């Protein structure tokens, strides 16, 4: 029942913890609508003490839209929409260890990600989130107006190249290199949220290569300024995981950063990623088609 849903804000810019719902169970349309409204309002929402099989995780995610199958990270054999994100004790590099917005390198980017904690280190391994709506609203009206006329070029070529951090070999994750078949796609540098009308910056250090129509060198000064501005502490919240915790964030207005501060320990998470419904997918322009 919706009456059991309790929502507690965790920070000023974004984030709320939700209790009173078991995500493993089939949920009513009204409950899904309430969770969706909380996500839209708070940009990232957290649940504790959940017990989700891969099939239940996928079923919950599918209530919010079609699920993405990652082009470079292998999904589970029985549930290809579910990715296991594992850092073994011997791994130096973690997955997601830098500020980014999931899947902005696709022609149709994902709208949401749902991450579930299975095994956690004794200490460390928190995730940071940053509101790009708050970041946009803190800019001057003049810069806001300028950015609304610009588009960014996004690609996985840097992050998933043979030398990129996400393509480095790991003990328990199968990650393909993007070299030779990745494309470049243009997205607005300011997105208007289709449900709230709130505007947010849509660039990120991992996947935004340059400003469309500008040279890389010309783009660097403005993008570097925005990347520094967008991670200001006042725009962020920090989530400390426990086994069974779930985080659900809106990639249209949120960056995240998985901290890699637990050397010699294992961390095992599972993620499903929600795409927009085809009829409301954002229009993007292809710069360089995949080969």
Active site residues: 100, 102, 256, 271
Query: Which residues are registered as beta bridge partners of 288?
Result: 184
What are the angstrom distances between the C-alpha of 225 and each of 140, 205, 215, 231, 236? 13, 11, 16, 11, 17
- Nearest residue to 210 via CA among 152, 280, 289, 123: 152
- String of DSSP letters for the chain: -GGG-EEEE-SSSS-EEEES--TTS---HHHHHHHHHHHHHHSEEEE-S----HHHHHHHHHTSSPBP--SSB---SS-TTPEEEEE-TT-SSPTT-SSB-TTTTSSS--SEEEEEEEE--SS---EEEEEHHHHHHTS-HHHHHHHTT-EEEEESTTTTSTTSGGGS--SS--B---TTT--EEEEESEEEPTTT--EEE---TTTEEEETTS-HHHHHHHHHHHHHHHT-GGGEEEE---TT-EEEEETTTEEEEE----TT--EEEEEEEEPPPGGGPPP-EEEE---
């Amino acid at each position: 029942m919706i009456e059991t849903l309790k929502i507690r804000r965790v920070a000023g810019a974004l984030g709320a913890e939700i209790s009173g719902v078991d995500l493993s169970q089939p949920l009513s349309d009204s409950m899904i609508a309430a969770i969706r409204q909380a996500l839209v309002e708070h940009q990232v929402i957290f649940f504790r003490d959940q017990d989700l099989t891969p099939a239940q995780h996928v079923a919950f995610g599918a209530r919010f839209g079609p699920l993405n199958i990652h082009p470079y990270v292998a999904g589970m054999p029985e549930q290809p929409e579910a990715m296991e994100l594992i850092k073994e004790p011997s791994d130096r590099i973690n997955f997601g260890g830098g500020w980014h917005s999931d899947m902005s390198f696709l022609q149709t980017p994902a709208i949401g990600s749902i991450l579930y904690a299975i095994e956690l280190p004794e200490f460390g391994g928190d995730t940071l989130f940053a509101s790009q709506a708050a970041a946009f609203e803190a800019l001057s009206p003049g810069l806001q107006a300028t950015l609304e006329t610009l588009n960014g070029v996004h690609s996985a070529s840097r992050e998933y190249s043979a030398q990129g951090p996400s393509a480095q070999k790991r003990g328990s994750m199968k990650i393909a290199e993007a070299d030779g078949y990745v494309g470049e796609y243009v997205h607005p540098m300011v997105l208007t949220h289709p449900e709230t009308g709130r505007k947010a910056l849509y660039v990120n250090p991992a996947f935004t290569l340059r400003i469309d129509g500008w040279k890389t060198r010309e783009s660097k000064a403005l993008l570097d300024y925005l990347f520094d501005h967008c991670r200001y502490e006042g725009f962020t919240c920090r989530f400390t995981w426990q086994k069974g915790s779930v985080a659900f964030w809106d990639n249209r207005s949120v960056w995240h950063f998985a901290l890699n501060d637990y050397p010699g320990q294992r961390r095992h998470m599972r993620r499903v990623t929600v795409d927009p419904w085809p009829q409301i997918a954002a229009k993007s322009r292809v710069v360089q088609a995949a080969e």
